[in-house]
Amino acid sequence: MTASISDILLAWYDGHARALPWRNPPGAPLPDDPAWPYRVWLSEVMLQQTTVAAVKPYFAKFLNIWPNVEALAAASDDDVMAAWAGLGYYSRARNLLKCARAVAGRGGFPSTEAELRKLPGLGDYTAAAVAAIAFGSRAVVVDANVERVAARLFAIDEPLPKGRKAIRAAAETITPQHRAGDFAQGLMDLGSQICTTRAPRCLLCPLAACCKGRETGEPERLPVKPAKKAVPERRGTAFWITRYAGDGGGADVWLVTRPPSGMLGGMRALPDDGWSAQADGSGTAPLAGDARMIGAVRHGFTHAHLTLQVVAITAQGPPEGEGQWWPVDQIAEAGLATLFAKAAGLALAEG
């Protein structure tokens, strides 16, 4: 049964693999290119909790600016965080830089799953994915798509997260020695295209005859997920602080760089009142003066929903704390996180 599952899945992948810019064609030899592991690793980090469609332009942009791990390692934190802006989960960008610098310092990526796991920011999934896809090593790669396929294939009904141990053990039994990278990507594609969260297309599934979840008549209920917790509502205030150069010059807006850790760490942002995913804002404006409420924006984070009020202030002097004046007509180039890009958009629309 084990061999037949892997053989069937690989045959399906050969004919149905998605054409993605970071992928090697099914069954092809590994590229003879020193930057190949870099591209695999970069794509895997970007794809964490993010859609393929969202990642494609960012992947192309990063490769254009930093074509190899040495170039990325030499980049400034500000440039990388600005290039990442809009992709979300910004701790990934901070870990990306840490890992790139560690890899450049050791002279390249290690080829084994165990050694890859020692790099900053590489968890079990990413280490296994890079080992299998970039180096052809046998590694058990379990992302959300693979988790769903394996849970249904073996009818594993132990609720998550405890059920992940059994799911990984089941995936281990069907991972082949050869073409482990293609096999992992095949399972990902199967989960993305056929074995979907809702309304799985069982009639088109190459593994339907082997699927115990399908035999139960309720494959859609697997994997069993815990009840969702209520997401807390938070409130905060962002400040759109501007100055005017005079003599026909344009306007500047005051931007800050958020602390390196915590929410949106290391990103350029509008100054705010100290809100976080754990608490509402309670601070004050970094500058005294006439304040004008211009509206609010909503944004969803993993652990909270935020309503951010936007207050406009015309500066009479430099605001408190560190920051920089940025031309308003170039605000799109500042690399603001999505939340603050929304706030800036509101301020610009309100004039």
Instruction: Give tens-digit pLDDT for 2-28.
Output: 458 999 999 999 999 999 999 999 999
Of 199 and 264, more confident:
199
State the pTM of this model: 0.82
Residue 155 to residues 9, 115, 140, 152, Cα–Cα distance (Å): 18, 33, 19, 5
Look over the chain and give the mean of its residue pLDDT values, rounded to a whole number: 91
Query: Which pLDDT tens digit goes with each residue over 328-350?
Result: 999 998 989 889 999 999 999 98
Quick one: pLDDT band at residue 172, thresholds 50, 70, 90? very high
- What pLDDT, on a 0 to 100 scale, did the predictor assign at position 289? 63
Active-site residue flag, 44: yes
Cis peptide before 161 (omega within 30 of 0): yes
Active-site choice (44, 70, 172, 220): 44
Query: Which pLDDT tens digit goes with each residue over 92-104?
Result: 999 999 999 999 9
Place of tokens 């308003």: 328
The enclosing H or E element of 312 equals strand 305-314
Query: Which pLDDT tens digit goes with each residue over 119-152?
Result: 999 999 999 999 999 999 999 999 999 999 999 9
Beta-carbon neighbour count of residue 218 at 10 Å? 12
Asked if pLDDT for residue 286 goes beyond 90, the answer is no
Quick one: pLDDT band at residue 264, thresholds 50, 70, 90? confident
- What pLDDT, on a 0 to 100 scale, did the predictor assign at position 263? 79
Closest by Cα among 158, 265, 153, 173 to 214: 153
Q: What number is the average pLDDT over the span 218-227? A: 93
Quick one: pLDDT band at residue 208, thresholds 50, 70, 90? very high
Query: Which pLDDT tens digit goes with each residue over 51-87?
Result: 999 999 999 999 999 999 999 999 999 999 999 999 9
Candidate from 198-212, 247-261, 275-289 with smallest mean pLDDT: 275-289
Asked if pLDDT for residue 248 goes beyond 70, the answer is no
- What pLDDT, on a 0 to 100 scale, did the predictor assign at position 2? 46
What are the structural domains, with CATH classification, of the chain? 2-221 (1.10.340.30), 233-350 (3.90.79.10)
